[in-house]
Amino acid sequence: MKRRFPKSSRRVQADLCTRCDGQFMGVTMRRLSILIAASLFCFSPVSQAVLAPPALAQGRFIEREVVRYSVRPGDTMSSIARSAGIPLSELQFLNRGVDPRFLRVGQTIYLPADAPVAQLSLTLDQSRGRIDDDVALRGSGFEPGSRVQIMAGDSPYRLQVIGNARADRRGGVNIAVGLPNWARPGQQIFFGLQSRNSRARAVADAYQVIGRPSRPERPLFSVSGTLTRQGVECPTMRGDDGRTYSLAGDIRGFYPGDRVTVDGVIAEMSICQQGTTIDVRRVTPSQ
């Protein structure tokens, strides 16, 4: 015969019911010890092991559109994130499983669809040429009408500014430049285009320097004068001979108003717009 409890006892029994993980369990006084053990199990911190990362919990990446991006020469995870205008942590989250220490050219990663770096490109008309040949650069994806820095170096990770250009109305840059004066046959040269704020950069594949010069070396030219502010694309100098010269090359450390002596060669082609252009080899203070 089943034992029945009075109504008051059943109310006590109902008060001792508990909920654990969405399921109700009725307990009796005789199973109180079992209830205590089960409660300890239900409220254990197991859920902490499956907590989503804060960025995912806030929904920052769940519905964001992404595009495929092919790693280019000179790219690092930090430089890609900087160019894309996103935190490095966000880029790493979008590419979980990619080891940033072993990025390789041509590897595919993901970027937000609105990232400006995803639209940039730079190609060369030719992949090799003689030391005195001009190199045709063709870039795209830059802000229309913006000023762009032309860069060159012996590695995609070591580029220096060698000139300036301006993007056309469609964001394209088409220009021919000479090789740096330190280039030698057998060497690889890397060219790049970079926005003025250094946030967007495109680097082309290597350009191979071959053979000897196809025409005689241009004679060195030396002129003294005063640096001016007239330059649009390149620094300018008013020579002591009364002529205006544009200076294509590195003149860091000198400013408008300084008296200098410039050694170089007269450029046959130039992106500069004022006077005669000198491919600068050396700049020294002048009295």
If you ran DSSP here, which 8-state letter would residue 31 be given? G
The answer to whether 265 and 215 have CB atoms below 8 angstroms apart is: no
- For 38, phi then psi, to 5°, come to -65, -35
Q: How many CB atoms lie within 10 A of CB 266?
A: 14
Report, as an integer, the average pLDDT of 137-143.
Answer: 89
> What gap in Å lies between CA 149 and CA 248, rounded to an integer?
12
Report, as an integer, the average pLDDT of 183-200.
Answer: 87
Position 27 scores a pLDDT of: 40
3-state class (DSSP) for residue 32:
helix
- Gyration radius of the chain's alpha carbons: 34
pTM of the model: 0.48
Across 99-108, 242-251, 268-277, least confident range: 268-277
The answer to whether 135 and 179 have CB atoms below 8 angstroms apart is: yes
Position 258 scores a pLDDT of: 92
> What gap in Å lies between CA 168 and CA 165, rounded to an integer?
10
> What gap in Å lies between CA 33 and CA 12, rounded to an integer?
16
The answer to whether 114 and 128 have CB atoms below 8 angstroms apart is: no
Across 4-18, 46-60, 107-121, 191-205, least confident range: 46-60
Position 86 scores a pLDDT of: 84
Across 44-48, 149-153, 213-217, 279-283, least confident range: 44-48
Q: How confident is the model at residue 102 (pLDDT cuts 50, 70, 90)?
A: confident
Position 32 scores a pLDDT of: 47
Domains of the chain: 54-118 (3.10.350.10), 120-210 (2.60.40.230), 221-285 (2.40.50.500)
Return the H-helix or E-strand segment holding 180.
none
For tokens 């900087």, the residue is 82
Taking only the tens place, the pLDDT of each residue in 34-74 is 444 444 333 332 222 222 233 343 344 445 688 888 887 77
Higher pLDDT, 47 or 94: 94
Token pair belonging to 207: 């350009």
> What gap in Å lies between CA 242 and CA 207, rounded to an integer?
39
Which range is most confident: 12-16, 84-88, 115-119?
A: 84-88
Mean pLDDT (the chain, rounded):
75
